[in-house]
Every structure is written in C-alpha cells, then in structure tokens.
Structure 1
Amino acid sequence: MTRYAIDRARGALIAQWSTGIGETATTVADLPSALPHHELLRLSAGLTQLSHACWRCYTHPASVADHYGPGSLGRQRQQERDAFGTVHDFVVAADRTAWAQIDTRVQEAAHAVGRVLAFLDRPGLTTRIAGEVAAELAAVERAELGDLSERAGQAVALSREDTSPLQVVQADRLLRRHPFGCDALFTRLDPTAAAIAAAHWLHAAVVVTSRLTRAHPAQIVAAADQPVKPLAFESLTEVLGGLGAGVRPRQVVMTLVRNALHVGEGHLLGIIEARHRINAAERLIGEVHAEHPELAVGADTVHLPLTPLDPGRPAPDLLENLLHGIQSCWGFYERHVRATQPGGGLSVEGPRRQKLRRAFIVALRQEADSRHDRLL
C-alpha cells in the first residue's frame, strides 16, 4: 500500500510505496506554509488508511471467500470493492456527504480525507488530492487485472489470497531461465504466484538431489543453513510434504499464505493445526525436562509460532524460503559429489564445479518440465 507523509523541510505531501527491492516516493502536492501542521498530519494519515483499505480489496478478493450470502464475508468484501465508485464524492464533497450512509472501511477512510480537505478549504489542494486518490484506485484496478506496471507494482510486496494463472506461468518461465531466482521474481510479479512456481521448482530440485544422493527429502531440507530464519525449515517441510502427497503447488502455497494472513489479522483458521502445534510444544517441553531438569522450561516460557511465515508479509517470506531451498539442494548435491566421487574436490569457481552446476540445472529443468502439468 502507499504511505503518505509530510515533508516539513520542503513543505510537501509525499507518497511512498515498495517496489519489491526498495522504496520509491513521489511528491503529491506542495503545501502552503500557513496550513496547520496537525491537520496536514490528519490528511496524510487518512490517505494512508484509504490506500490500505483499497489495497485490501486486492489482497482479500470477494471471489475467494467461503460464503457469499447476505451478511457473509464474501458480501462484505464485495461491498468494499463496490465502494470504489463512491470515493471521489467523499473526498471532494465532504460537506455534501456528511449525512451519507457509510457502510465500508473504504468510504470511512475517504470521508475522513474529505473532512480534512473541507476544513483546510484549499480548492487547489483538494484537486491534487482527488487526482492522487484516483491514481491509487487505478493502480489497484490494474493489479487486479495482473498488470503490475508503474504504480500498481507495489502489489509485488503484498500477499494475496488469490493469484492469476498467467502470473504463475510468467514466474515459471523466469525460474526456468534462473532456477536459483532473480530480482524480477520480486519486482515484477505477485509474490503468491511466484511462490507457487518456486514450490514447483523446489520439488523438482529435491527430487533431482534425492535421486543422486539417495537422501530423504527431509534430510536435504534439514541440511539447509537457517541461522536467520529458523522457521524456514518448517515452511519448506510443509510445502514438500504436500507436494509429495500429490497436492498441487497452488493449493499448498495458497493454504500457507491464507493461514498466515488470518494470523496477521488476529485469527486462527481451524483448531486442528493449533492443536498439532500445542501438542508438539508439549512434547518438546517433556523432552527438555527429561534431558535437562535444571532448566526452567514450561508452558509459559515456550514461544509457539502460529504460522511458519511472517504474518506481515507471508508470500514474499515464503518465496524467499523456497528459493533458499532450491539453492540448498544445489549445495547438498555438490557436497555429495565432493565426498563420493574420485577427484570430487572441486575448486570454488573451477571449471569442474561449473560443469557440475550446469548438470544440476539441466536435470532440474528436465524434472520440472516432466511435472509441468501439475503446476496449475
């Protein structure tokens, strides 16, 4: 989403959003020095909240809601999306819409912006803000159609409960050219779609590595170095477990992302998974007590993650984990060759190592191609 701020040094309202590998900013309007600063802060806060409400229509589309009847989640989401058509009036004519019925968060945020603009009473500023809001709504609408160019590109930093098959295909093509990942996966594509394709390629990488080394997939994933993101192992295990059981990448990834999004909003989807995690924590406590009775470890001291992903950015987090998993497969593959083949000691960047890397990539592409009908 777009975040708005007041640059007091320049006397300007600025808008800032993520590009996937960094932040970009633009000037929305120059601000007269006579305007009260606290009201300008209210304006920036209202615009940020409006952007958040509008982009939530993108990340939480009505089409994937479980129910779609009167009072249902699906109906509420559709009402939020339909409210886009009322935003302009709330922003530019707060005095005339003061008694209008406000049914959605989108309308509430737009009305808050309109009230500040009405108080400031600067027609030029109102016109600039109306144009800014229109540009933000247009960006959301382009992202919904799968066009992540220009301002709609901020969608690459968001996690969506649905994704375009076309975006998955595009991510698959990128991974075929760059099996270990590339910037374009993070800057041009919906991260949920990219994660679906990356899960497909991770499965292929594990199969290729396991075929050569005779190691179990869990052993290959466990060998990955995870000093910074210890929960990455759990997310990779869940992905590979599902794919190994015949579940399609889309279903596996969407389940993980949706659950994390629910956790991020303070909800736990289903009690079976929670019970599983609690039971695992209790077993861990028992093992620690048995081996180290001197440690004060109890139910109140164990940190129990409700999801293996970062709830604030689950899709980008999962994509990072999956690409790390592919890289780890190559590392496991290479170490096995070093340890088992005569003359397997390969220099860090020597020609033999490069030849082995190319062989791994060729085998990886062949395996991914053989499973291509399972991608979507």
Structure 2
Amino acid sequence: MVSYSSLLESAHRVGRALHSIGDPQLVEGVAADVAVELAAVESAELGALSGRSQQAVLLSREDASPVQVAAADQLLQQDPFGPDDLFRGIDPTAASVAAAHWLAAAAEVTGEASGLDPTRVVLEADNIEELPHESPTLVLGLINDGVSPYDAVTSLVRHAMQVTDGVLPDPTALREQLDDLHETLARHSGEEEPDLTDVALRLTPLDPQRPACDLLEDLLTGIHGCWLLHSEYENLDHDESDDVEEWDDARAELEQNRSRERFAELVRDTATRHRARLI
C-alpha cells in the first residue's frame, strides 16, 4: 500500500527499510530518535528553542508564540538595531512581530525629526542607501491603520506561504495590482494598452522560500534606514572650529556610534510608550 500523503509515505518507507533489515536494536534506536525529534517540535511550539528545537529558527510559521515575541522584544530592548541572537534563538515569525513594533517606534522618532509621514520614512531612506523598503513600508502602513504588529506580520507570512503552495490567496488584491501596473505603464509609455508580455509582477514582497526570515531581515534593515534618515536631520553639537571634512576614520566612526546610540535611546523610549500594541 502506498499512501497518498508524501509525509506518511516517507515514514512508511523508513518502516519498510527497518522491517527488511530486521535488527531490533536499530528499530529501537530509530524510534528513540524520532521521539526526541517530536519532543523538540513540541518544545518549539511552546516557544522554547534549545537543543534540537533550535531548528525552528530556519522555518516560517503562520503564528507566533507570545513567549518568543517577549524574548525578541527583550533582545531589541538591548539593541534596537537587532542583535545576532535574534536570528539564533528566536522563531523568525515571533522575532518579526517584535521587530515590527520596534520599526514603528523608529519610524515615529524619525518622522518627528524629519517632519515626514512615519509610514514613508523607510521609502525616503532608500534615497540615501538602497534598502528593501517594500515590506517595511507595508508593515508601517498596516500598523498606522490600527493593525497590531502580530496581525501585520502573520498576515504577510501566511500570504507568502500560500503563494509558495501555489495558491492565490487574494484575487481581488491581485486585480488591483494589475490595474495599478497597467496604469503606470500606460502613463510612462504613452500607450493606452501597453504591452505586458515581458513584465513580471511579484505576488509577495517576501522570499516565498523563507518568508519569515526574509521579513525579519527587511524590518531590521528598515530600522537601520530610519537611523540613516534621522541622522540626516539630527542637530549634532559641533564646535565652530570642527570641520567634518577633516575628520579621520576614527573620529567619523566615533560620531556614527554616538548617533546610533542617541537614536537607539529615543527608539527605546518610544517603543516602551507604545508597548501595549505588542502585547
């Protein structure tokens, strides 16, 4: 009998191989290892990523453990730009939820300094340094509309996972994308019916093979972009005799670190003030 489920059939193939070998000790060892693996999955579902459970940092899930979100929030409290531990010990969907909250705080700080709409600051920062601005800008817009960081992140990850499975989750939104694309091409080409033959349209702003990890990277890059723009408007206290062009590399690096730390403190204060949206 061959199972229609590829997952069950893979398990049956292992069982058939063990049956053919006929070694009781080997069967016992494989069964024990499977039990350890299942326990690791259960542990990851509860938000405890240690030992084998740490494999979950490479996967994308549609939901996020509150325990993991809280752990990610603590790491971002230490370093709002995103410490390495955020990628090593936190489920990427949960880490993205916390990062979305901190990105919104960074955007608010930057908006106050620049006078720009906070939902547009990452897009504006792209003029300073090339950034993956689409998904951070989308998340900022959702949060600005009252959507929680959890719902904003999980909806994007879920959408990308459905695209990976070959499903078109929102045909209405796709129709709107096509209409916008048609309008844009018509405006630039001057043709009422522009040729769409060689035009590609992305169904998701995320990498469908690793949507949660990709979103986390984009959100943290968005925070970096907020700092870039904030530093452009920052009122640095320099003596009149200071000539920025004469700074050596060490002085420039020192001033950059100071600027990042000042920005980080402002973001911490703002994130703490709006903590209710994360819970």
TM-score, reference length from structure 1:
0.65
Amino acid at match of 2:209: G
1:116 maps to: 17
Shift of 1:212: 0.8
One of 133, 140, 155 as aligned partner of 1:233: 133
Give the unaligned 5+ runs of structure 1.
Answer: 1-97
Amino acid at match of 1:369: T
Shift of 1:312: 1.0
Secondary structure in 2 matching 1:181: coil
Matched, 1:364 2:259: no
The structure carrying a bigger strand percent of its residues is: 1
Counterpart CA distance in 1 for 2:172 and 2:130 is: 25
Give the unaligned 5+ runs of structure 2.
Answer: none
User: Are the structure 2 counterparts of residues 316 and 154 from structure 1 closer, same or farther at C-alpha, using a change threshold of 3 Å?
Assistant: same
The structure carrying a bigger helix percent of its residues is: 2
Counterpart CA distance in 1 for 2:164 and 2:209 is: 6
User: Are the structure 2 counterparts of residues 229 and 126 from structure 1 closer, same or farther at C-alpha, using a change threshold of 3 Å?
Assistant: farther
Shift of 1:273: 1.6
1:217 maps to: 118
User: Are the structure 2 counterparts of residues 332 and 126 from structure 1 closer, same or farther at C-alpha, using a change threshold of 3 Å?
Assistant: same
1:92 maps to: none
Secondary structure in 2 matching 1:305: coil
Matched, 1:374 2:257: no
Counterpart CA distance in 2 for 1:238 and 1:254 is: 13
Counterpart CA distance in 2 for 1:327 and 1:122 is: 57
Counterpart CA distance in 2 for 1:185 and 1:273 is: 32
Q: RMSD in angstroms over aligned alpha carbons? A: 2.9
2:55 maps to: 154
Q: Is the 8 A contact 1:338 1:344 kept in 2?
A: no
Secondary structure in 1 matching 2:190: helix
Counterpart CA distance in 2 for 1:191 and 1:128 is: 32
Counterpart CA distance in 1 for 2:152 and 2:243 is: 37
* 159-168 or 109-118, which deviates more: 109-118
Secondary structure in 2 matching 1:179: coil
Shift of 1:103: 8.0
Map 1:1-376 onto structure 2 (within 5 A).
106-225=7-126, 232-290=132-190, 298-337=195-234, 345=244, 347-350=251-254, 352-376=255-279
Higher RCO structure, 1 or 2 (CA under 8 Å, sep 6+): 2
Q: Is the 8 A contact 2:110 2:227 kept in 1?
A: yes
Q: Is the 8 A contact 2:99 2:219 kept in 1?
A: yes
1:50 maps to: none
Counterpart CA distance in 1 for 2:8 and 2:257 is: 58
Shift of 1:132: 2.5
User: Are the structure 2 counterparts of residues 220 and 157 from structure 1 closer, same or farther at C-alpha, using a change threshold of 3 Å?
Assistant: same
